[in-house]
Structure 1
Amino acid sequence: MKIAACVILYYPKEDDLQNISTYLPKVEKLYVYDNTENKTLKSYFKESNPKIMYFSDLENKGVSTRLNQACNQAITDGFDFLLTMDQDSSFTEENLVKYLIAIQNYPNIESVAQFGLEYDPDDKKANDNEIVAEEDYELITSASIINLKNYIKIGNFDENLFIDGVDFDYCFASLQKGLKCIRFKNIFFNHSLGIKVKRGSFKTFYLLKKEKYLCAPIRIYYLVRNTLYLEKKYGAIFPEYIAKLKKRNNSSINTNLNYSSNIFEYFNYKRKAISDFKNNRMGKYQD
């Protein structure tokens, strides 16, 4: 199995860069796409490992464009599969080895668009006796392994989305082509769920404090706008999947609104997201 990996950086911290070492030994090539806008890490990566190819144009081009660049580069370089990683994600060596073995042993691999895993904020170990392959069309980008032969059939990641929903769109596009998305249950990777806070909500006048994971305010814009976009694109084709996606995303949006320390900023992003969707303003957020 000839496999490369890619990771998309955005103002990475040292811990984010260290995450790379958890999967680099198991791939033949790593494509690093840096969306940081005001500095480059070219010298850092030049000295780190000859497996690494680093790309930076000092622009934030989001997730979908970078994934398309990585897939096309991997195809050009003769790879069959591409592991896609977020900068805040990592593996234990044991779990990554089990993941790769599970893919190698999967029957009819040519029918699969991509593989994925369960994620956990801690280094949870896999149990060999409980590993199950299931069809799942809600695989997230991080730790997915794309079958590059089928990437050509499916087409590009949708660059209208920029970030948020890029992964689900690819799952739905795969399903449209009659291809499977497979998640291996009970194999885990470490993945950040957002910013962990303990505070009260707007609904309880901020009196009852709970631990919640919140995202940056700008992500509310993309969540709202892109959920509307995916509903328009796939709602009539996959109503059950879209209903489930809307329910989860709306829950996340409401949690962020209710537990935000600046609720008006979140509401403003939500309002602009709806307006931009109605006016067909997609891609990167514009003031």
Structure 2
Amino acid sequence: MIKNICAGIVLFNPNIERLNENINAIKGQVSKIFLYDNNSDNISQIENLVKKNNNLILIKGKRNNGIAYALNKIIEISYNNKFSWCLTLDQDSICSSNLISSFLKYIKKDRVAIICPFILNNDKYTVESMKKLNLPKCQIIVDPMKCITSASLTNINIIRSLGGFNEKLFIDCVDTDINCRIIGHDYKILQDNEAYLLQTMGKAKKIGILNALYSLTNLDFFRKVMNVPVYGDLRLYYMSRNSRYIRKTYHNPSKKVSFTYMLTQFLYFTVFFPINRSRVKIWRAVIKGFNDYKNIK
């Protein structure tokens, strides 16, 4: 079965050490790894890394066309190389050593479009705390926000039949958009809770008082908010724009793209982002994104 599985990693100015960890974690689990580079400044370092690994293929983009475009290129080259499944990965995420072997238990189930792992992001969960949750071994995902692109084992034929990833989104909500279409067409997204992914969302900043409150109360709310991911203003623009596009395009997609949820999230960023960030620029980006959603067609 592994002969039918490849991996694809989208690159943009990656930290080479972290990328190397990423590759080492997955290269023994798949037949081939395709790297699509979005015109990185450190392309020479990436090329040197590729030379040291036999099963890597590097595709160099002439400019940064966004993550959705890169994912479509990876799906296309995977299909042309006769692979049935592609594990899509972010450049800074590390897979568990049992990821693919665990996924194989579900790969032949009917109408499965994606198999994803449990996500350990920004130290909000540890492997130990994940195990204490007593989750089912596998569950069907019905909320499109609860499955991300990174470490998702993707059924190539199904994704192609749905038109691939929406390149006009560029970045953010790309996974939510495809998940909405998957669920809307009665395909399945499975979460395998015996496998996991170590993920970094933005440059995480630990909030001391919230961390202390979590230690004192052990309340799940404080665990979720004690590490704030720090995004640039351009990323906030896409978050605002694309979440509104999802709200307007799909029926009841997820509470996590609702106006109230997104407003609360941007207020949270406003309070807890580093003090040197301009709050005026943050909200200009958010408001511009909110107004620009209609330009996505």
TM-score when normalising by structure 1: 0.83
Task: Specify the SS of the correspondent of 2:8.
Answer: strand
- Matched AA of 2:255: A
CA contact 1:130–1:186 (8 Å) conserved in 2: no
Change in Cα spacing, 1:190 to 1:39, as seen in structure 2 (3 Å) is closer
Task: Specify the SS of the correspondent of 1:69.
Answer: helix
**Does residue 183 of structure 2 align to residue 179 of structure 1?**
no
Displacement of 1:9 after TM fit? 1.1
Task: Please list the CA deviations of residues 44-81 of structure 1 after superposition, one character each: whole Å capped at 9, or x if unmatched.
Answer: 14412121110113411111101111011101101011
Change in Cα spacing, 1:147 to 1:248, as seen in structure 2 (3 Å) is farther
**Does residue 13 of structure 2 align to residue 3 of structure 1?**
no
The aligned counterpart of 1:30 is 33
Change in Cα spacing, 1:168 to 1:33, as seen in structure 2 (3 Å) is same
Structure 2 matches for 1:246-285, cutoff 5 A?
A: 246=258, 248-260=261-273, 261=275, 262-278=278-294, 280=295, 282=296
Task: Please list the CA deviations of residues 120-166 of structure 1 after superposition, one character each: whole Å capped at 9, or x if unmatched.
Answer: 14562675x85521111331011101011212222210111110000
- Matched AA of 1:106: Y
CA contact 2:241–2:292 (8 Å) conserved in 1: yes
The aligned counterpart of 1:92 is 96
**Distance in 1 of aligned mates of 2:90 and 2:59:** 15
Aligned-pair RMSD on alpha carbons?
A: 2.6
The aligned counterpart of 2:255 is 243
Change in Cα spacing, 1:14 to 1:256, as seen in structure 2 (3 Å) is same
CA contact 1:40–1:58 (8 Å) conserved in 2: no
**Distance in 1 of aligned mates of 2:137 and 2:262:** 26
The aligned counterpart of 2:15 is 13
Structure 2: gaps of 5 or more residues? 210-225
**Distance in 1 of aligned mates of 2:291 and 2:52:** 45
The aligned counterpart of 1:133 is 138
Task: Specify the SS of the correspondent of 1:26.
Answer: coil
- Matched AA of 1:220: L
Change in Cα spacing, 1:249 to 1:16, as seen in structure 2 (3 Å) is farther
Task: Specify the SS of the correspondent of 2:229.
Answer: strand
**Distance in 2 of aligned mates of 1:124 and 1:12:** 25
CA contact 1:222–1:273 (8 Å) conserved in 2: yes
- Matched AA of 1:145: L
Displacement of 1:43 after TM fit? 3.3
Task: Please list the CA deviations of residues 196-239 of structure 1 after superposition, one character each: whole Å capped at 9, or x if unmatched.
Answer: 225699xxxxxxxx7533222211100000011111110xxx32
**Distance in 1 of aligned mates of 2:19 and 2:195:** 23
**Distance in 2 of aligned mates of 1:178 and 1:172:** 10
Task: Specify the SS of the correspondent of 2:127.
Answer: coil
The aligned counterpart of 1:188 is 196
Structure 2 matches for 1:12-161, cutoff 5 A?
A: 12-18=14-20, 19-41=22-44, 43-93=47-97, 97=98, 99-106=99-106, 108-120=108-120, 121=122, 124=127, 130-136=135-141, 137-138=144-145, 139-161=147-169
**Distance in 1 of aligned mates of 2:137 and 2:158:** 23
Aligned length: 265
- Matched AA of 1:64: A
- Matched AA of 1:245: V
CA contact 2:10–2:91 (8 Å) conserved in 1: yes
